[in-house]
Structure 1
Amino acid sequence: MSQDVITTRLIRLDADLGTTPDEVIHGLAHVVAHANRTDNPGQLAADALARESKSPTGVPGGIAIPHCRSAAVTVPTLGFARLRQAVDFGSKDANADLVFLIAAPDGGGKEHLKLLSKLARALVRQDFVQSLRDAESEEAVLALINDVLGTNPSDNKQAASTAAKASSTDAEAVRILAITACPTGIAHTYMAADALSQEAAKMDGVHLDVETQGSSSVTPFPAAVVDRAQAIIFATDVGVKDRERFAGLPVIESGVKRAIQEPRTMLEEAVAAAKDPAARRVPGGATTTSGTENSQASEGSQGLSTAKKLQQAVMTGVSYMVPFVAAGGLLLALGFLIGGYDMANGWKVLATEFSLGNLPGHDVNIDGSMVHFDRAGLALYLGAVLFATGQMAMGFIVAALSGYIAYALAGRPGIAPGFVGGAVSVLVGAGFIGGLVTGLLAGVLAAWLGQRKAPRVVASLMPVVIIPLLTSLLVGLIMFLLLGRPLAGIMTGLQDWLSSMSGSSAVLLGVILGLMMCFDLGGPVNKAAYLFATAGLSTGDEASMKIMAAVMAAGMVPPIALSIATFIRKSLFTPAEQENGKSAWLLGLSFISEGAIPFAAADPLRVIPSMMAGGAVTGALTMATGTMSRAPHGGIFVSFAISPLWGFLIALLAGTITSSILVILAKQMWPNKALQLARNAG
């Protein structure tokens, strides 16, 4: 089976594939096509570049391993190039002259991925790497690669071998565990594991066991190994599976690439942590109850920097809040559609005091006054029920934002005080600004309390009773006694400012929101604009609905514009981009900005500025026409909740035309060298 992974037709020696990672990856994709391993090299290159955009694949030693899962290949495939001119793939030590393109079939079996992971593990062996540089023929390279594919141990056997060598002679060794994981789970996962294992073998008094949480397999540590461990290393770019197994162990956290580049440093930090009673620990145990169960990777020895932790905590809160906003907002919009807009004048009475057997008429007694509704009977009642359900969902958004920010910082002990703080924010009128503050406050306090040593008799009560109780109390007191009124004043001032916007000030805000929505297409800046819009939507005032319309319309522009551009000037786009363009318009109409990410990842300097210009035009025009949206999501499919609809459509059309023209001009006047190379290779 390993013979099928690579052939001499997939190898290029002393090749000139370009001067940038994009060009090299496109060149290797066409090497794969010439070997009859794919009939869509553009798609393969786009998939590899999408992975590259998440984290550069250069590793120490002048090596790069761009890799991906792709529907463009049906069998696991390796393309290899020894470059005449080394290219910067993001490694700290040197540019890469040895480049492997690892392509795994989308949805392929784990046995295939095991073979690919073996190659990645071999790349940390200096003798193997030097042999690749010294090889004089494609046949020699093929023999070297097939040798490691056929003889290297399979997943996690490195750790098992290390454990088997343990005996009474190393009984005094510091026993360290390590978890390695990367987003794709093919290459960096196993390179990090082997880099740590090989370095540990050179160190006296260190015993290391490694669990690779990759795509090919995950073999958990035996319980006995975990029980004997004195510290653990998390070298991951994704969440650690079953993290609670290691509760109470001193922990060193980093991104997976740091374990490849600085394995000895990380091991030394883990040894020091094992001997330090005050070391940071995995949350959930008897000696510690805080920390985040969803900690993201970092490049530092003590996890993420404080600023990065706070930023990611806010993004976590936003991501958990969005389902409440989407469900609640769409239910409100459906309520208006079915029951009429005047239903909002008495929705609570209509939903609770009537039933299917007692439907309301046109005139209903609302709080002692007779109110006339345009609609009556089943339509009015169902509209009120939908609206009431949506109101309940929207009532959670500040609490959910606050609660899950705290959760990101302190794990489960932070959830309750975060939700309590959010509820208090709503009560005192501090709104989503108060929710942001209480979430961060609750998370920091809960994490701090969790790191305090507790007597064993109360340790088990800390995460479920004591920390939530004390933190909720502290957050409540701080909000009621100190921060509540100032934050409410800020929120009121913001709402008054928004309500007073007209003319040029409103247009300027629309421009800013449009630029933000199109800057990173679903990233932190995009999410910040969306949070600003959706959080204000719960107030129901016209200014907030105008902001929502600007944000949604601008976010629809990039996928639609790029789809149109691929139809107008097909030759300016790669085959993969042309294929993506066939469906991107539908994603855009649905307000899914992420439909433009494949285009932006492959060509950010031409695509992103063009999209931002169109987004700015759209945002400005929605504000200028006073367009409002009562729905937080759905795009053109919630047109019934947008008024005036003509203003929304004109703004969307103008922005789309602007972006389409600009991206075509940018690609025509500033040609894409990677695209030209792909054409020449084809």
Structure 2
Amino acid sequence: MELKQMTDERLLFFDVEWNSKQEVIENLVNALDENGYLHSKEEYLKAVMEREEISPTGFEKGLAIPHGKSAGVKKAGFAVARLKNKLSTWESVNPDNEVELVFLLAIPSGEAGSTHLNLLSVLSTRVMDDAYYSRLLAAKTPERFLKALDQVDEPAGEAPDAPADKTVVAITACAAGIAHTYMSAEALEKAGRELGIRVLTEKQGANGIEDELSADVIDGADAVVFATDISPKDKHRFQGMPYVQTRVAEPLKHAKEILQRALNKPDGKVVGDDVEENGTAPGKKKTGVLAEMGQAILTGISYMIPVIVAAGLMMGIAKLGSMPFGLVNDLPNPEFATHSNELFVILHHLDKFGFLIFQFMYPVFAAFVAYSLADRTGIVPGFVGGAFAAGIHFKYWGLEDQVASGFFGALILGLTAGYIAKFLNKKIKLPKNFLPMKPMLIIPAVSVLAIFFLNFYIVDPVFGGLNVVLSNAIESAQGSGELVLATIIASATAFDLGGPINKAAGAINIGLAADQIYPLTARVLSIVIPPIGLGVATIIDKYVVGRRVFDANLRVTGNTSVLLGFIAISEGAIPFMLRNPLLVIPINIIGAILGSVTAVALGAVQWLPLPAFWGWPLVENIWAYLIGLAVGVGFIAFANIFIRFALIKREERRA
């Protein structure tokens, strides 16, 4: 099959004036859809744009190859645009690249090993040849362009098989597994020929593993290069080898430097599925501690999100299912565990099941924070630290009146567990026969013991003490004016989203409401405002500032956060707080205060502890309540969008 069989004259656009990357991609997606290549235009476009956020699809010499792998693609193919007006704003490997020739690749999910995907990989490699690329640019008509696609020069007298003193093996892999994967491999092999280095590449792409490196080849290699945007498979095969780790696009502009670095000044040595650092290799920017922590926190959040979603959905199904019977607030009562109505029994246990899943939120988060820092050896101490943060230990120690450390504890204990396990793994040296004892016995024992003492003497006392101080402050404010008290209750409620300070504010406010001293208006609003506000921010950011300001993980969380907010589960917003507490916590507090004070000042009154939407009809002056809700949600949404956008622009100016 020829490349021209994978496109069509109706998919070729010459000398068009499209003024942005978005416009180019959308027009080419429309063409693919109109010509029968797509099941779902929206699903495929979403996959392409999400791929754009991972790494640049612009290269050099005016070339860009955006692509997306999606179930929305019916059959593999590509559309082409040659632009009359070059685009300097298209993010490219070469910052000076002005895009004029665009290939948009459509890749079906689950079509690994097909002829079509093989041809797309061939196209990605061919465009790196200067003569081939020049013929595509020079083609004046669609017929000549289609002919040029399959016009390949015989390789000149290169010396790929000439004896080489050194051998470097490499793995290339990108998120979609097509363009960058093959172009990066080609760039490394070409640079190797020019340097007199034998380079053998394994492509881990959409077709699975291609040109798999054999054990004999690996044994005979001097170094390995991991040019990947995703975790390479079977990294343990390169045990003990000098390595360089880089993004998949880097060899397209620095292939020679990467090969020389791998041989002369590597980043470290491969140890199992992990690496052992040699300090900072020249040419490699050392990751700062704060950046390393940020990446670890982001990893923890990505693994925690499914826990929050699963827990929230279980509780949401239970509560929504009990609404027709008026049992939303009574459902947790033990009497429903043995009720004569089987439906009530199921809903009761489903609600409890959701609550149980929530207890694993912090253990999972802390385990994978530690995993990001120390690989597998960090999982156990991280999980234990997260269990302390969730307060699980108090139940077994008979201290159920004690206060858990919450998300602050999970942050501190997860990071500490990771660094302790990493330190032990690096510093403990054992004879070969005793090596299995290190990850299975020594590191778990020492790291878990360290986490126990850290939590026992520092984390629990500090955050328990903080909770007592804040509880006393809230209690002492009972004689203040209603707006002052609303401000204090809103601040404490929004501070840690279901954590110990939130619960302290709730206990005091519920007591005041039970005695008809002060209503729960500020309390119930401050439960729902942060998750809804943060969720709305992830939905409208691209319309407000013209781009996404949240990463893919937080956008997924945002959709769930809105849903959970309406059913009064504030934990849906915790991933945002863990990712950037110094930004999110103050905005949450201010938004909750503004919303609550607005509603109270306008006359909204809620005496019952029903923050979910089904409790809204019981609010006096519901219009004032909804205005307050809108004010708080609006502030949190727009403040997050504009501040994050400003931070992104500042980073771009520094780059």
Distance 1:328 1:31 in 2: 42
How far did 1:325 drift?
Answer: 3.9
Which of 523, 529, 532 is 1:553 aligned to? 532
Which of 82, 95, 100 is 1:97 aligned to? 100
How far did 1:438 drift?
Answer: 0.9
In 1, are the aligned partners of 2:596 and 2:629 still within 8 Å (CA)? no
TM-score (ref. length: structure 2): 0.68
Which of 406, 417, 420 is 1:445 aligned to? 420
Distance 2:433 2:71 in 1: 56
More off after superposition, 315-324 vs 438-447 = 315-324
Q: Report 1:165-176 matches (<5 A).
A: 165=161, 169-170=163-164, 172-173=165-166, 175-176=167-168
Structure 1 counterpart of 2:199: 208
Local SS of the residue matching 1:256: coil
Distance 1:323 1:629 in 2: 31
Structure 2 counterpart of 1:282: 270
Structure 1 counterpart of 2:79: 79
Structure 1 counterpart of 2:439: 463
Identity of aligned residues (%): 26
Distance 1:241 1:121 in 2: 22
User: Aligned pair in 2 of structure 1 residues 41, 289: CA closer, same or farther (>3 Å)?
Assistant: closer
How far did 1:441 drift?
Answer: 1.0
1:360-388 Cα shifts (integer Å, max 9, x gaps): xxxxxxxxxxxxxxxx9989977775565
1:316-350 Cα shifts (integer Å, max 9, x gaps): 22233344444455666778859774686x85xx7
Structure 2 unaligned regions, length at least 5: 278-282, 394-402, 510-522, 544-557, 567-586, 639-655
Structure 2 counterpart of 1:573: none
In 1, are the aligned partners of 2:474 and 2:489 still within 8 Å (CA)? no
Structure 2 counterpart of 1:313: 296
User: Aligned pair in 2 of structure 1 residues 135, 511: CA closer, same or farther (>3 Å)?
Assistant: farther
How far did 1:263 drift?
Answer: 1.4
Structure 1 counterpart of 2:456: 480
How far did 1:550 drift?
Answer: 1.8
Structure 2 residue identity aligned to 1:412? R
Structure 1 counterpart of 2:132: 128
Structure 2 counterpart of 1:113: 117
In 2, are the aligned partners of 1:58 and 1:65 still within 8 Å (CA)? yes
1:10-60 Cα shifts (integer Å, max 9, x gaps): 3334x1322321222234345556767679877765553343244331113
Distance 1:133 1:508 in 2: 66
Q: Report 1:226-305 matches (<5 A).
A: 226-273=218-265, 279-284=267-272, 301=284
1:160-216 Cα shifts (integer Å, max 9, x gaps): x97xx48xx44x52x332221222122111111111111122223x33221211112
In 2, are the aligned partners of 1:181 and 1:188 still within 8 Å (CA)? yes
How far did 1:225 drift?
Answer: 2.8
In 2, are the aligned partners of 1:628 and 1:642 still within 8 Å (CA)? no
In 2, are the aligned partners of 1:621 and 1:647 still within 8 Å (CA)? no
Distance 1:222 1:629 in 2: 68
1:192 counterpart = 2:192: no
User: Aligned pair in 2 of structure 1 residues 335, 53: CA closer, same or farther (>3 Å)?
Assistant: closer
In 1, are the aligned partners of 2:171 and 2:201 still within 8 Å (CA)? yes
Structure 2 residue identity aligned to 1:245? R
Local SS of the residue matching 1:213: strand
Q: Report 1:586-665 matches (<5 A).
A: 590=563, 621=595, 624=599, 639=614, 650=626
Distance 2:221 2:608 in 1: 56
User: Aligned pair in 2 of structure 1 residues 334, 106: CA closer, same or farther (>3 Å)?
Assistant: closer
User: Aligned pair in 2 of structure 1 residues 462, 512: CA closer, same or farther (>3 Å)?
Assistant: same
Structure 2 residue identity aligned to 1:401? F
In 2, are the aligned partners of 1:74 and 1:105 still within 8 Å (CA)? yes
In 2, are the aligned partners of 1:397 and 1:535 still within 8 Å (CA)? no
Distance 2:363 2:290 in 1: 23
How far did 1:290 drift?
Answer: 7.2
In 1, are the aligned partners of 2:492 and 2:505 still within 8 Å (CA)? no
How far did 1:228 drift?
Answer: 3.5
Distance 1:423 1:318 in 2: 16
User: Aligned pair in 2 of structure 1 residues 647, 622: CA closer, same or farther (>3 Å)?
Assistant: farther
Total equivalences in the alignment: 546
Local SS of the residue matching 1:193: helix
Which of 331, 353, 365 is 1:401 aligned to? 365
Distance 1:100 1:209 in 2: 27
User: Aligned pair in 2 of structure 1 residues 214, 112: CA closer, same or farther (>3 Å)?
Assistant: same
Structure 2 residue identity aligned to 1:101? L
User: Aligned pair in 2 of structure 1 residues 442, 63: CA closer, same or farther (>3 Å)?
Assistant: same
Structure 2 counterpart of 1:16: 16
Structure 1 residue identity aligned to 2:455? M
Distance 2:474 2:243 in 1: 47
User: Aligned pair in 2 of structure 1 residues 224, 498: CA closer, same or farther (>3 Å)?
Assistant: farther
Structure 1 residue identity aligned to 2:120? L
Distance 2:388 2:633 in 1: 46
In 1, are the aligned partners of 2:371 and 2:377 still within 8 Å (CA)? yes
Distance 1:234 1:218 in 2: 14
Distance 1:647 1:466 in 2: 62
TM-score (ref. length: structure 1): 0.65
Structure 1 counterpart of 2:142: 138
In 2, are the aligned partners of 1:314 and 1:405 still within 8 Å (CA)? yes
Over aligned residues, Cα RMSD in angstroms? 5.1
How far did 1:546 drift?
Answer: 5.0
Distance 2:374 2:56 in 1: 30
Structure 1 residue identity aligned to 2:245? E
Structure 2 counterpart of 1:420: 384
Distance 1:592 1:147 in 2: 58
In 2, are the aligned partners of 1:28 and 1:79 still within 8 Å (CA)? yes
Local SS of the residue matching 1:281: strand
Structure 2 residue identity aligned to 1:308? A
Structure 2 counterpart of 1:55: 55
Q: Which has the higher contact order (CA 8 A, sep 6+)?
A: 1
Structure 2 counterpart of 1:4: 5
How far did 1:65 drift?
Answer: 0.8
In 2, are the aligned partners of 1:26 and 1:41 still within 8 Å (CA)? no
How far did 1:443 drift?
Answer: 0.8
User: Aligned pair in 2 of structure 1 residues 491, 442: CA closer, same or farther (>3 Å)?
Assistant: farther
More off after superposition, 92-101 vs 434-443 = 92-101
How far did 1:265 drift?
Answer: 1.9
Distance 2:27 2:316 in 1: 50
Structure 1 residue identity aligned to 2:290? A
Structure 2 counterpart of 1:533: 497
User: Aligned pair in 2 of structure 1 residues 134, 496: CA closer, same or farther (>3 Å)?
Assistant: farther
In 1, are the aligned partners of 2:38 and 2:75 still within 8 Å (CA)? no
Distance 1:230 1:415 in 2: 32
